[in-house]
Chain A
């Protein structure tokens, strides 16, 4: 079973609307959690990284939250733009150093 579960698998939103992506993990011990944006045919680009003690972190219109007690994270996209169309990947680091567990990603499509 994957130690990082993302939901929804995909979603379609209208330009200008907000959306929230979810990431639940079972990785233990926990080191940090990252959100990446991956455009089709490109490598992932880091959006945020949070450690155990951080509850929220923003990067422009992207805001990530982390609840280390419930092992849940969310990525909120505000006022979506067409360029936000991409796959968003949750990556959790923990256990043996250097081991990164990847979620399957959420495919976001922003329509005009």
Chain B
């Protein structure tokens, strides 16, 4: 089956630094990639939707200058948490969608971000 690779799986950083998370579709071209945030024992919260070559669409309440999303190719999307603060500590997950009628949705394994 299709695989979405996300890394790093875990990152610890100091407050004020920036962290980049990568999401790659390994054996298919993802027309759309999604980024989610998940707090403990809560459901996934969609942060933004990105299509290759165009600007990401952010959900209400998500700061686009805080969470920079780049979708430079059909197999790679990155999420950069800029000037991270302890309240940004969370589990971040990406997913990739294949179009052409089947709308398959595959998830990455997630990144646990801890900001000290």
Q: Are B103 and A44 in contact (CB under 8 A)?
A: no
Which residue from chain A places its CB closest to the CB of B51 in the assembled complex? A98
| B: interface residue count bin | 20 to 34
Residues of A with C-beta under 8 A to B95? 43
Interface size on A, residues (CB 8 A): 22
A15 to B29, CA, bound (A): 40
Interface of A is mostly: strand
From A46, A89, A93, B44 is in contact (CB under 8 Å) with: A89
The yes or no answer to A1 lying at the interface (CB within 8 A) is no
A sample of 21 inter-chain contacts (CB < 8 A) reads A31-B103, A32-B103, A36-B107, A41-B91, A41-B110, A41-B112, A42-B110, A43-B93, A43-B95, A44-B93, A46-B105, A46-B106, A89-B43, A89-B44, A97-B99, A98-B32, A98-B97, A100-B46, A102-B43, A103-B43, A104-B43
Which residues on A are within 8 Å of B, measured CB to CB? 31-32, 34, 36, 41-46, 49, 89, 91, 93, 97-98, 100, 102-105, 107
Supplied contacts A93-B105, A98-B97, 13 more A-B pairs, CB within 8 Å: A42-B110, A43-B6, A43-B108, A43-B109, A44-B44, A44-B107, A46-B1, A46-B106, A89-B43, A91-B105, A98-B103, A100-B46, A107-B41
